[in-house]
Structure 1
Amino acid sequence: MNYLSVENISKSFGARTLFEGVSFGINKDQKIAFVAKNGSGKSTILSIINGLDFPDTGQVVIRKGIRMEFLSQDPQLQDELTVEESIFASDNEILKVIERYEKALENMDDQEAYQNAFDQMDQYNAWDFETQYKQILYKLKLEDLKLKVKNMSGGQRKRLALAIILINKPDLLILDEPTNHLDLEMIEWLEDYFAKENITLFMVTHDRFFLERVCNEIIELDNGKIYQYKGNYSYYLQKKEERIASENASIDKAKNLFVKELDWMRRQPKARTTKSKSRQDDFYVIKDKANSRRKEHVLELEINMERMGSKIIELHNVSLAFPNKVIMKNFDYLFNRGERIGIIGKNGTGKSTFLNILTQTLQPDSGKVVIGDTIKVGYYTQSGINPKPEQKVIDIIKEYGEYIPLTKGRTISAGQLLERFLFDRKKQHDFVEKLSGGELKRLYLCTVLIQNPNFLILDEPTNDLDIVTLNVLENFLLDYPGCLLVVSHDRYFMDKIVDHLFVFRGEGEIEDFPGNYSDFRSYEDSAEPAKDDTPKEKVNWKDSQPKKSGLNFNEQKEFSKIEREIKDLEYKKKQIEDDFSNGKVADADMIAKGVELQKIIESLAEKEERWFELSSKLEE
């Protein structure tokens, strides 16, 4: 059954065409992800579908009687209403019945009103519905029903809007980045909820784990054309690669034919009228095909990382508490060169506060934070850029200089740097307030990286970035030689980037877990109670050997450490080799530097041999 059809819609803003001739349909029980690069018009298409914007051409046809709900990135709620009042403000008849029953409970003296409300609860079978909606509020941490919307944070408002939509159980649910402002526990609950509920979904999301587990179809807007894939994210990646390879092969074939046909066209006398008209027409079709190779604009990230000394960042006996909440308690940690740490934990356990202590924008109650003399911190925060009124994109970068230093002593102009971050010459002179959410994040990332940090802190870096940009960012971070500290609810991103985790348990407990997010979830799941509610003894991971690994705890720690040491040695080796090749080593230092390089090479060989030994045990 077709719920909604998008028919040949187009949209332009001034001279800029966002998309044209876009058509697709949404049918009952489909769970569709809509994928496109930032700036392609994803959010605009969602707004058009929901009647909040209008296409220049084409139309959206919605099946009569379909109940449709839309979760935007900035939901509109009434500030003066409480959580409970916001939920009951909908026109859902069952919710009206529950509301009357809740009020009757507050005034038990009116027995007639109570009995009528009780009978209606039976009549509408509202008892189960009440249980379900209270469970949704509990899972989304909205248990204070008297809290007013005006006193809620942005994240709480987003969760309340999501709760209202889920409680109303629409036939078709349109979602714009539904996992933003949800912690990992909430995201995993929402995945399970969508998996078991008969809801038709159409969503824009950058959360690839969520996309993989929830969606059964992907619609992609790529270079102005719509492509549909009947499968999850893994299937989409495979089929997209095959499609692009096929398109490129077809274009190459057209180019060869074009050269042949061009020669034929040139050899025909102008006065001749016997040319094959159809062959001439075919020539222009072939010409268009031959010149249609995809214009792949790839984000280029390149920095001249500051040299890093032996002392990185040290935390000694650090404690911090707010009224009724302990954030850190006697926490000690010495960062090593090349460490890649992910930070996870429920909202409110102190993850962002920890970053503020680390960057010394917040002082602890006791203990101290020591930052090495050579350490230059790059801090990507959730707050992003705060541009001046009518400031243009290029003005943001020029604040750091007309020319920006790159590796090997090279420089690049502010405009050229922005082009590497996918801001063309025209876009560079747009006002910053005109940028989309993803473009703002990309510009902010540019300002952080051009300062050449060797200790990079990323607080929710994946929010609003499209999947293409995320893949480029991941590849850059995999090659980044400095220290990396990441707070993110993007599990796919965390699995790919980090070596171990700081798990914020709450009440000041911070656990150092030797593995990525999937390793951690496997450990947690193995320790959860069985479905028959039989308690299952929770074994501390420090005293156990994960089933997938043949390493004991000490070997796991050694394995994580040795990987970091290898990266460190490779970095030192490359620096000395670069110094030799660039003529930076003085004649008097040649022998000493040569000996140092030889020791590094020998140590590297030894570490790599041990790494292979441990790797072989992992595979057992």
Structure 2
Amino acid sequence: MHLSKITQSKYIMNYISAENLTKSYGVKTLFKDITFHINEGDKIAIVAKNGSGKSTLLKILMGKEIADSGTVTINKDIQVVLFDQEIDFEGELNVEEFMMTLDSAPIMALKNYHHALISENPDDMDKALNEMEVHEAWDLENEMSQILSQLKITDLTSKMKTLSGGQIKRVALAKLLVETRAQHRHTLLIMDEPTNHLDVDMVEWLENYLSKAMVTLLLVTHDRYFLDAVCDIIWEIEDFNMYVHNGSYGTYLENKIIREDNMNSTIDKAQNLYRKELEWMRRQPKARTTKSKSRQSDFYETEKVAKTDTRKEKLELDFEMKRLGTKILELHDIGKSYGDNLLLKDFSYQFQRGEKVGIVGKNGAGKSTLLNIIQGLEPYDSGSIETGETIKFGYFSQKGLKYKEDQRVIDFIKDISENFPLANGRTISASQFLRLFLFDDQTQYSPISKLSGGEKRRLHLMYVLYQNPNFLIFDEPTNDLDLPTLTVLENFLLQFQGSLIIVSHDRYFMDRIVDHVLAFEGDGIIKDFVGNFSEYREKKSQEQNKKVVAPVVETPKKIETVVSSPTVVTRKLSFKEQQELKEIDKEIPKLEKQRAEILEKLNNETDYGKIAVYSKDLETIAEKLQALEMRWLELQD
């Protein structure tokens, strides 16, 4: 691969250009002949299945990996900064010293200023103050303090080696943001899963910071709310190709559906032609004329298209899980403390059949402890637990998967069972179940040790689900899972007929799945909220913003219950509003019909020029429909 530098453009600066990049590991191709550009101000998210080459692509841009072929051209006036999953640090440094290891003029000015404070030398102080002014280091010091505070890094004297994995990740994130801010030259910020190990407040702060920052960003994330808030370009890597989508995550999904529909249409046409050509090929004598050889060559190209498998196996499983009895799981007055740290105080809850409960709260509040207590993995101090006789727990923990290095993926799953039971006595094979969770045939017969970190997480998830539990417990299941796998998991859980508990910081995932929230608020207090995660957050925000504080009343309740029931104010619609509502009722069906007609045209169109026009029309109609539907809801309310 050729790597070169280019000079700064007169207009919008081009940071990186890549032409025809190809990368393989052995027989496994990650991407082939992909071309892309990164310009100043771009905020790009990469979406792909684990093992498709996301992290490898980032390393190629950093110069840590070399592509098999193609060229990467990097502007000589930019700096590329990476926030990786693996954090390098010297354990003996404290947090403040680690932050000050940055190599930039403003940071050096800060170091000299702190040294002058200690030395009390007037000459050193004069020089340091001048450097602080020249390099605008006063603002940087304030911003560094704010960033550390928002990421809940309060003790700057702690040594790095004493921090937890999550704390190290947050310190490294703070250092990266400060480094980007400190650089006066143009910087490309590359971030690989930056929201892992952050609680919801931190994630929301970071997305607000990055969305407003004048920064060029290349991002890998599974957090779809974060992606939508920060990025406006999506790179999709699939089937060795790269597809570029300008717009939101929703736009990407629409484009993907259109592309797959058109590909299926092309395949159908190719299959019809293939059958005719196959008949012709069989009739031909062994000696080929030039004309027949040309037709033979066309035949093989047609065969390649006709045999393309774009069909995604639909996750429509009618489970034959062990029946849940009348009693599911009941917790009565559960108490748990670690020394002076009170995690659970007289907590009572009765789980219902089919209930999907989300558990939220700050790190260390006791969420994982409750999951362990429920399963009998950890003792509790007081209270009692009644578990139904038919309950079979399935636990997806953060500890990871235990496996033999040389064991193949398919054999690991078959050790549980050759088949997965469906209703009415039907079954699907272990291989079919693996394909549902995006393990292709080649990967199924690969050693587990060859899988990427994300693929191992996906196999761990498969291992839990394949044992056919009727009560699922997930502790941060979305960490390191790719977006395609998350979509499959969500569809699986939406159909799941058993009970479900999820601990997660992924707001999109929680909103789509849970119908009930248990919020750990510290000091053993757990609030019970009926609704999804965003509704809980909105309710909590409203309570915090109230100007009038009601007097505190002691109650004997074991758990506080907050029900999402906004006050309804009845108002009669004006004549004009009534007419507007009638017009909207007429207009919406018309637009829905137009949308269906355009989709039908897209399904049968192969001309990319026309596809672009139809796609634009579809986007316009979708925006009109959304506006009308929102107005309709306002008038109805």
**TM-score bucket of the superposed structures, by smaller chain:** 0.7 to 0.9
1:368–1:7 distance in 2 versus 1, CA, 3 Å: same
Q: Indicate yes or no: 2:151 matched with 1:140.
A: yes
Q: Is the CA contact (8 Å cut-off) linking 1:297 and 1:422 kept in structure 2?
A: no
Provide the rounded CA distance (Å) in 2 between the counterparts of 1:190 and 1:295: 38
Give CA-to-partner distance per residue, 1:565-603, whole Å, 9 cap, x none.
xxxxxxxxxxxxxxxxxxxxxxxxxxxxxxxxxxxxxxx
Give CA-to-partner distance per residue, 1:502-558, whole Å, 9 cap, x none.
1111111111111111212322343454xxxxx7347899488426999xxxxxxxx
Q: Indicate yes or no: 2:560 matched with 1:546.
A: no
Structure 2 unaligned spans of 5+: 1-12, 551-559, 571-632
* Partner in structure 1 of residue 525 of structure 2: 509
Q: Indicate yes or no: 2:260 matched with 1:249.
A: no
1:289–1:453 distance in 2 versus 1, CA, 3 Å: closer
Percent identical among aligned pairs is 49
Which shifted more, 270-279 or 6-15?
270-279
Q: Indicate yes or no: 2:47 matched with 1:35.
A: yes
Q: Is the CA contact (8 Å cut-off) linking 1:300 and 1:420 kept in structure 2?
A: no
Cα deviation for residue 327 of structure 1 reads: 0.9
Q: Which amino acid aligns with 2:14?
A: N
Q: Indicate yes or no: 2:140 matched with 1:129.
A: yes
* Partner in structure 2 of residue 161 of structure 1: 172
Q: Which amino acid aligns with 2:45?
A: A
Q: Is the CA contact (8 Å cut-off) linking 2:358 and 2:502 kept in structure 1?
A: yes
1:308–1:268 distance in 2 versus 1, CA, 3 Å: closer
Give CA-to-partner distance per residue, 1:431-472, whole Å, 9 cap, x none.
322211221112111221222211111111112222222111
Q: Which amino acid aligns with 2:479?
A: N
* Partner in structure 1 of residue 36 of structure 2: 24
Q: Is the CA contact (8 Å cut-off) linking 2:490 and 2:513 kept in structure 1?
A: yes
Q: Indicate yes or no: 2:505 matched with 1:489.
A: yes
Give CA-to-partner distance per residue, 1:19-67, whole Å, 9 cap, x none.
2212211111111111111211111111111111111112322110212
CA RMSD of aligned residues (A): 3.0
* Partner in structure 2 of residue 498 of structure 1: 514
Q: Is the CA contact (8 Å cut-off) linking 1:549 and 1:619 kept in structure 2?
A: no
* Partner in structure 1 of residue 351 of structure 2: 335
Count residues in correspondence. 549
Q: Which amino acid aligns with 1:546?
A: P
Q: Indicate yes or no: 2:73 matched with 1:85.
A: no
Which shifted more, 114-123 or 299-308?
299-308
Which shifted more, 140-149 or 290-299?
290-299
Provide the rounded CA distance (Å) in 2 between the counterparts of 1:350 and 1:512: 15
Give CA-to-partner distance per residue, 1:69-90, whole Å, 9 cap, x none.
1111122222222211111111
Q: Is the CA contact (8 Å cut-off) linking 2:528 and 2:562 kept in structure 1?
A: no
Give CA-to-partner distance per residue, 1:458-510, whole Å, 9 cap, x none.
11111222222211111111111111100111111111100010111111111
* Partner in structure 1 of residue 62 of structure 2: 50
Q: Indicate yes or no: 2:228 matched with 1:212.
A: yes
What SS is found at the alignment partner of 1:496?
Answer: helix
* Partner in structure 1 of residue 620 of structure 2: none
Provide the rounded CA distance (Å) in 1 between the counterparts of 2:332 and 2:68: 61
Q: Which amino acid aligns with 1:128?
A: D
1:243–1:421 distance in 2 versus 1, CA, 3 Å: closer
Cα deviation for residue 353 of structure 1 reads: 1.5
Q: Is the CA contact (8 Å cut-off) linking 1:303 and 1:450 kept in structure 2?
A: no
Provide the rounded CA distance (Å) in 1 between the counterparts of 2:325 and 2:56: 48
| 1:377 corresponds to which of 393, 399, 402 | 393
* Mapping of residues 144-543 of structure 1, within 5 Å: 144-169=155-180, 171-259=187-275, 275=291, 285-294=301-310, 296=312, 303-401=319-417, 405-410=421-426, 414=430, 417-424=433-440, 426-529=442-545, 536-537=547-548, 542=562
1:436–1:199 distance in 2 versus 1, CA, 3 Å: same
What SS is found at the alignment partner of 2:81?
Answer: strand
Which shifted more, 417-426 or 22-31?
417-426
Which shifted more, 172-181 or 298-307?
298-307
Q: Is the CA contact (8 Å cut-off) linking 2:518 and 2:527 kept in structure 1?
A: yes
Provide the rounded CA distance (Å) in 2 between the counterparts of 1:117 and 1:330: 57
* Partner in structure 2 of residue 73 of structure 1: 85
1:546–1:432 distance in 2 versus 1, CA, 3 Å: same
* Partner in structure 2 of residue 613 of structure 1: none
Provide the rounded CA distance (Å) in 1 between the counterparts of 2:534 and 2:174: 27
1:280–1:498 distance in 2 versus 1, CA, 3 Å: same
Q: Is the CA contact (8 Å cut-off) linking 2:313 and 2:435 kept in structure 1?
A: no
Cα deviation for residue 100 of structure 1 reads: 2.5
Cα deviation for residue 273 of structure 1 reads: 5.8
Which shifted more, 93-102 or 537-546?
537-546
Which shifted more, 506-515 or 71-80?
71-80
* Partner in structure 2 of residue 120 of structure 1: 131
Provide the rounded CA distance (Å) in 2 between the counterparts of 1:333 and 1:221: 44
1:541–1:412 distance in 2 versus 1, CA, 3 Å: closer
1:302–1:489 distance in 2 versus 1, CA, 3 Å: farther
1:298–1:52 distance in 2 versus 1, CA, 3 Å: farther
Provide the rounded CA distance (Å) in 2 between the counterparts of 1:57 and 1:519: 50
Provide the rounded CA distance (Å) in 1 between the counterparts of 2:296 and 2:322: 60
1:326–1:446 distance in 2 versus 1, CA, 3 Å: same
1:440–1:27 distance in 2 versus 1, CA, 3 Å: same
Q: Is the CA contact (8 Å cut-off) linking 1:523 and 1:541 kept in structure 2?
A: no
Q: Which amino acid aligns with 1:166?
A: L
Provide the rounded CA distance (Å) in 2 between the counterparts of 1:437 and 1:313: 34
Q: Which amino acid aligns with 2:163?
A: M
Q: Which amino acid aligns with 1:98?
A: L
When normalised by structure 1's length, the TM-score is 0.81
Q: Which amino acid aligns with 1:120?
A: E
Q: Is the CA contact (8 Å cut-off) linking 1:79 and 1:148 kept in structure 2?
A: yes
Q: Which amino acid aligns with 1:202?
A: L
Q: Is the CA contact (8 Å cut-off) linking 1:344 and 1:488 kept in structure 2?
A: yes
What SS is found at the alignment partner of 1:353?
Answer: helix
Provide the rounded CA distance (Å) in 1 between the counterparts of 2:564 and 2:511: 21
Provide the rounded CA distance (Å) in 1 between the counterparts of 2:481 and 2:442: 21
Q: Is the CA contact (8 Å cut-off) linking 1:320 and 1:365 kept in structure 2?
A: yes
Q: Which amino acid aligns with 1:165?
A: L
Provide the rounded CA distance (Å) in 2 between the counterparts of 1:279 and 1:412: 41
